[in-house]
Amino acid sequence: MTLLTVEGLTKRFAGVMAVSNVSFDIAEGEILGLIGPNGAGKTTLFALLSGMIPPTSGRIVFQETDVTRWAPHRRCHRGLVQTFQLAQAFPDLTVEQNVRVGALFGARRPRAGLPPLTVDEVLAVTDLADRASARSNELTLAGRKRLEVARALAASPELLLLDEVMAGLNPAELSEIVEIIRRIHARGITLLVTEHVVESLFQLIDRVLVLHHGQLLFNGDVRAASQDPAVVEAYLGRAEPAAGAPA
């Protein structure tokens, strides 16, 4: 079953085409990867999906409902939830209190007919149970990344958009976050994950989207992506921008 459908999604900023005519589907229960070089449009695409910015044109259909013009909080309540690259928890609240804020703000109905995860369950899934009483500003970078995921998970997502949750982590921390993502997926949650750490991302996914200069360069099997000349050239910086795309 298709959970999310994106049709011809486009975003222009004062003449600069950040995202250009992007279309794809996400199946229920899938972990889909999103990669691309810096400036490819990944962050803009996430902001469009979560409702942080409106599209210039195109359509977003989530759970068979057109949510293209919905505000971010309506999408969150529906089960479309995003994390952010810069984890910004409430610094004076404890880890547990931050997770409770996510639970209070999140979906207004059970996810896929199931009861939402409790705060204790969220803390366990994200390896934060032993830090529940710590203030969020006492956490390491890895801890803050996990808390960002925990707050989103507490909002009871049907589709969770993970935006560079692996950035800046050491190899041991990368292994931990990969395991956390697997646990979340095992709970029946669909994920769209964008990352520069492709080695770790490819451990999780079978299908990947590749953006380049705002355009969808590739949509398909991970192994095929690694052998696709256009994808390889884009990552090595040798691909030429499409006509009309920003340099």
**Torsions phi, psi for 208 (to 5 deg):** -140, 145
225-236: per-residue pLDDT in tens?
A: 988 998 888 775
pLDDT value, residue 236: 52
160-179: per-residue pLDDT in tens?
A: 999 999 999 999 999 999 99
110 residue type, one letter: P
Beta pairing, strands 57-62 & 31-35: unpaired
DSSP codes of every residue in 96-107: HHHHHHHHHHS-
User: CA dist 99 to 96, 108, 114, 133, 189, Å?
Assistant: 5, 16, 19, 11, 18
Q: Is 223:29 a contact under the CB 8 Å cutoff?
A: no
Q: Is 133:96 a contact under the CB 8 Å cutoff?
A: yes
Position 241 confidence tier, pLDDT thresholds 50, 70, 90: very low
| CATH superfamily, region 2-236 | P-loop containing nucleotide triphosphate hydrolases (3.40.50.300)
Q: Report the candidate in 182, 152, 146 with the shortest Cα–Cα distance to residue 165.
A: 146
Written as six digits, the tokens of 17 are 């085409």
108-161: per-residue pLDDT in tens?
A: 565 556 677 899 999 999 999 999 999 999 999 999 999 999 999 999 999 999
**Torsions phi, psi for 42 (to 5 deg):** -65, -50
* H/E element, 216: strand 215-221
- Entry pTM: 0.91
Is the confidence at residue 38, as pLDDT, over 70? yes
Residue 130 burial (C-beta neighbours within 10 Å; 0-12, 13-18, 19+):
exposed
Q: Is 58:10 a contact under the CB 8 Å cutoff?
A: yes
